Structure 1
Amino acid sequence: MSGSTEFGTVAGSPAAVPAARTRGLRKVYRGTVAVDNVDLEVPTGAVLGMLGPNGSGKTTTIRMLLGLVTPTAGEVELLGRKLPEGAAESLPEVGALVEGPGFHPFLSGRENLLRAAAAEPHLSTSRIPAAVGAALERVGLAHAANRRFRGYSLGMKQRLGLAGALLVPRRLVVLDEPTNGLDPAGTREIRTIMADLHAAGTTVVVSSHLLAEVEATCTHVAVLNQGTVVAQGELADLLDAGSATLLVSTPEVEAAVDALRDHRIPARSLAEGIRVDLTATTAPEVVETLVKAGVPVHEVRRQRTGLEDLFARLTEDPVDAAELDPTSDPLVPQETR
């Protein structure tokens, strides 16, 4: 992805107003701090994955972004307007699915969407039937449009909630665990919808516990832990900033591990060879050390940190966040800025 890695800058374009921004965001429930000093920026046109363990503050942050919860302290801007003052102007441009859809159980999927569409300020009465039909088709519910909502499976209810968020073109779409209850085919469909939204220039914020899906669909990531953002930035840059490793293929695994450890280079054996930590060394130094020790080297390839490994480092131990490269602003832990 080209362009600045600073939040608020669209790839390949000059600085733009972020789709959403928070400053010093804090929420306290009966003495319990749910969100603490969150500074978050969502670049316009990005697909941002919001990650964090259960209880990390993801949903509370999303609800404050949408004006559904009043912050205890801090500021929220949505599509360039401060909340709550600008809610009437910004919220019609936002589609959201938060903590599962809420529909009338005895109405059909179509009837529920018709009611939701009637409240859309940007949707004229004459266009409502067509918009509802298109939304149902888009999420794969056209065949069940006339069934009562109470008879829907969890996955079908999620699809209907997504259809409600997509009744009209949106500048920002916020999805809280959109694949909850979906089978693999449904998850792929959500991925396709997100890709279509991104291609159309829509900003997407998605909260998910499926790290593989986030890695496949998102351009940016924000990681929350214990109510605060511990890292945020472009996904590729975050992964590159993680501890890189080297995979070395050799028939003499034990000798290779011993030679490297004798030179204080961390290494461990694998079925296919050895994995070497490059935090305090380089690939050429690893190869030179092995060759000098008489260890045959058949193949060497660099392995980038995966999102799952990075997520574990950032959320299992708060100190890990400080190990990210401090010279790259988007990757600096929030508390050090």
Structure 2
Amino acid sequence: MSTALDASGVAVPATAGAATPARLAARTRGLRKVYGSTVAVDGVDLDVPEGSVLGMLGPNGSGKTTTIRMLLGLVRPTEGEAQLLGHTMPDEAGRALPDVGALVEGPGFHPFLSGRENLLRLAAAEPRLSRAKIAGAVRDALERVGLTGAAGRRYRGYSLGMKQRLGLAAALLVPRRMVVLDEPTNGLDPAGTREVREIIAELHSAGVTVLVSSHLLAEVEATCTHVAVLHGGTVVAQGELAELLDSGNPALLVSTPDGAAAVNALRERRITSRLTPEGVRVDLTATTPPEVLETLVRAGVAVHEANRARTGLEDLFARLTQPEPDSVPEDGEAGV
């Protein structure tokens, strides 16, 4: 995918216009974190627009969680700077964090206390929650994440999904300006995943900024307004989700009963294509739909349907973080 760099060195889609920059709820510049000889994060420039739902994507080890930890002031960066709600982190964490709810790397609670008792302890430490409102806030948070029935059970007896729900409840004890969720659907069943999606939608409707780190591309595509893709400890692309998807290479999706024959026929004409679950996806960068169809018909490949294909998030993610499969030579010949 083609990307460009703005004046601050941030990767943006090449199709992005010169619109007025959005206000930012969070911002990093040149963020770098080194553990011994391991570079976990290397020069991350991240913008989280105020009021957005930004999905942070990347393979394991790409630096997502480390970036989030530096953004929240849990880890001091080796180099660079991070700002959260206009405050420099970690030096001004005390001013920013009361307005931020976070679930990072799985929740940690007292194992011999119940879910309700754990939340009551956390609620008592909330600087903007009066003592008279603690019980009600805990009750509402438990109900919001579907844990009312299990609130009296000890935390050590919770399943992984229930622990995730309790961590989410802790992040939502009081109204927040920003909520940060690191793999919030980890361990949840499909019903729980839908509930998390609904909670994110509610937060977005209320104007809350949400930063979600996830490996579930379908969930990100369904819930997020913006995306940042990390690879090798740095941001390789970021921007509005719709713009990033529209900026991909033009393609044609061909429905055929013989996908392998179709790909072989197109490769003989040096037309890039590959099999997908939806059909044969043909890159139109150097060809046209009529040429593709003529090639297939001449090769005797039956074509049931052909439509312009929009880049999906899975395809975009693969192109940004993995080598193109068609770029690998086959049988000693150049890939096409």
Structure 1 position 219 matched with structure 2 position 237: no
Evaluate the alpha carbon distance shift between residue 246 and residue 84 of structure 1 in structure 2; reply closer, same or farther with a 3 A threshold.
Answer: same
TM-score (norm 1): 0.83
Give the Å deviation of 1:286. 3.7
Give the aligned residue type for 1:112. Answer: N
Structure 2: runs of 5+ lacking an equivalent:
1-10, 14-18, 327-336
Evaluate the alpha carbon distance shift between residue 264 and residue 175 of structure 1 in structure 2; reply closer, same or farther with a 3 A threshold.
Answer: same
2:158 aligned to which of 141, 147, 152: 152
Which residue pairs with 2:6 in the alignment?
Answer: none
Q: SS at the partner of 2:24?
A: coil
**In the aligned structure 2, how far is the partner of 1:28 from the partner of 1:268?**
39
* CA distances 1:116-143 after superposition (whole Å, capped 9, x unpaired): 0011111111111100000000000000
2:140 aligned to which of 118, 131, 134: 134
* CA distances 1:71-102 after superposition (whole Å, capped 9, x unpaired): 00001010112123322221100000001111
Which residue pairs with 1:123 in the alignment?
Answer: 129
1:267/1:274 contact within 8 Å kept: yes
TM-score (norm 2): 0.83
**In the aligned structure 1, how far is the partner of 2:244 from the partner of 2:277?**
28
Structure 1 position 185 matched with structure 2 position 162: no
Which residue pairs with 1:265 in the alignment?
Answer: 271
Give the aligned residue type for 2:202. Answer: D
State the Cα RMSD in Å.
2.9
**In the aligned structure 1, how far is the partner of 2:213 from the partner of 2:297?**
47
Structure 1: runs of 5+ lacking an equivalent:
8-12, 321-337
Q: How many percent of aligned residue pairs carry the same amino acid?
A: 75
1:80 aligned to which of 81, 86, 102: 86
Which residue pairs with 1:329 in the alignment?
Answer: none
Which residue pairs with 2:331 in the alignment?
Answer: none
Trace 1:20-169 onto structure 2 (pairs within 5 A): 20-169=26-175
1:17/1:80 contact within 8 Å kept: no
Evaluate the alpha carbon distance shift between residue 154 and residue 298 of structure 1 in structure 2; reply closer, same or farther with a 3 A threshold.
Answer: closer
Evaluate the alpha carbon distance shift between residue 269 and residue 63 of structure 1 in structure 2; reply closer, same or farther with a 3 A threshold.
Answer: closer
Give the Å deviation of 1:274. 4.6
Give the aligned residue type for 2:63. Answer: G
